[in-house]
Structure 1
């Protein structure tokens, strides 16, 4: 928000929704789930509130892989005055730079997410007090018995307690705070630039074209 403000955007950041869809991680202690239909209804109600207050542009910044908001955008299209955009920062927003910054591809609590944690909330990273080494394994995951699923052209909702050893997917041991800061700067630059463009865009009959 601050970066967009500094570039001249008129923008308000709503509070984050602190829960997401965790149906496939329910086997882990205190995994808290909000079903997709419930989460979608929360956002629909918030969109209605924004429309009532004359706010007609919205960027949803999603930070959780279990949340799939694209069907919601399709459902809302044409039924609200609010023009809704979606950014999954861990996917498309950073897809072209992750391989340049990180050595190991990851999915959950791997090198990328651990680097961000080391940069911005290191007290939450479980490390050896003397050496700083992570108390973590290599984040290996299991393959299913179906080659089509393993090759990616058939998909499932993965039961995380069977897929992983401790919910981590991806090797975190090359993570550094510097890598986290590098990625965050790219995300801030890209997202703030988009917010500026969105703020300045006129809502005419051909929007967003």
Structure 2
């Protein structure tokens, strides 16, 4: 049992532990090329959160990892069989309910460990602040930590080298042989401002991808995944230790 993982621990431990931070992994259930599981984002979000929490726990800070929310915003993938969608408005309601529980139990810091590019929590965090001004709510995208360019030849955006390597590290039995994977070629917008990211819109996955992947996974290895996860969780743990070491009233530097 890992006492920093809520679904594994028990009331004997929980009733006597004053947790400082709750981590909420948030993933998705969607196609990831031909070689990765539909649960890729949920698997990775949860494992990264747990490994970061382990490092924080071993430094003496009480932290708890909540069960992963396995559904994300997948409106653009609705034409792909069994890509499960949860609208942002629903996510907001789920988030508000969970914060209400944490607030009631005296945990005033929540960090969302996001693992799905379609999830965006900034506006939700602004909205829940009005109901729970004493609770710090932050979110991070786990893949934005670590030395991406130094480890991967072509990280990719979805089921590419980065994600594939990470799953190969954590769950090698869930990865089909890479010679069965598609190329991960994506189809860009015709409009210049949209290609450059100056204009955003809903990306329609069946029109923007060939095999549901974005990024070539052929150079993926478990060793790359292990190195990246180690760097990533080190950096996330460093942030969490800083956050645990101060009160919410001390978040801003003194002038």
TM-score (norm 1): 0.91
Match for 1:45 among 83, 92, 97? 97
5+ residue gaps, structure 1: 128-132
- Aligned counterpart, 2:184: 139
Q: Which moved more, 1:168-177 or 1:193-202?
A: 193-202
Between the aligned partners of 1:32 and 1:51, the Cα distance in structure 2 is 30
Pair 1:126 & 2:179 matched: no
Between the aligned partners of 1:160 and 1:186, the Cα distance in structure 2 is 31
Report if the CA contact (8 A) 1:119-1:181 is conserved: yes
Which runs of 4 or more aligned residues in structure 1 lie more than 6 Å from their structure 2 counterparts after TM superposition? Answer: none
Pair 1:111 & 2:156 matched: no
Match for 1:98 among 123, 134, 148? 148
Report if the CA contact (8 A) 1:8-1:196 is conserved: no
5+ residue gaps, structure 2: 1-52
C-alpha deviations, 1:155-184, integer Å up to 9, x for none? 111001111111100000000000000110
C-alpha deviations, 1:39-83, integer Å up to 9, x for none? 111011101111111110111111111111011111123431211
Between the aligned partners of 2:142 and 2:152, the Cα distance in structure 1 is 15
- Aligned counterpart, 1:164: 209
Structure with larger RCO (C-alpha < 8 A, sep 6+): 1
Between the aligned partners of 1:134 and 1:121, the Cα distance in structure 2 is 18
Deviation, structure 1 residue 25: 0.6
Deviation, structure 1 residue 105: 3.5
How many correspondences in the alignment? 200
Deviation, structure 1 residue 126: 1.4
Between the aligned partners of 1:188 and 1:151, the Cα distance in structure 2 is 31
Report if the CA contact (8 A) 1:112-1:175 is conserved: yes
TM-score (norm 2): 0.75
Pair 1:15 & 2:15 matched: no
- Aligned counterpart, 1:89: 142
Report if the CA contact (8 A) 2:159-2:213 is conserved: yes
C-alpha deviations, 1:82-135, integer Å up to 9, x for none? 1111111123x34xx1111100131100000000111111111111xxxxx431
Deviation, structure 1 residue 138: 1.8
Between the aligned partners of 1:70 and 1:203, the Cα distance in structure 2 is 18
Match for 2:237 among 192, 203, 206? 192
- 2:60 alignment partner, SS class: coil
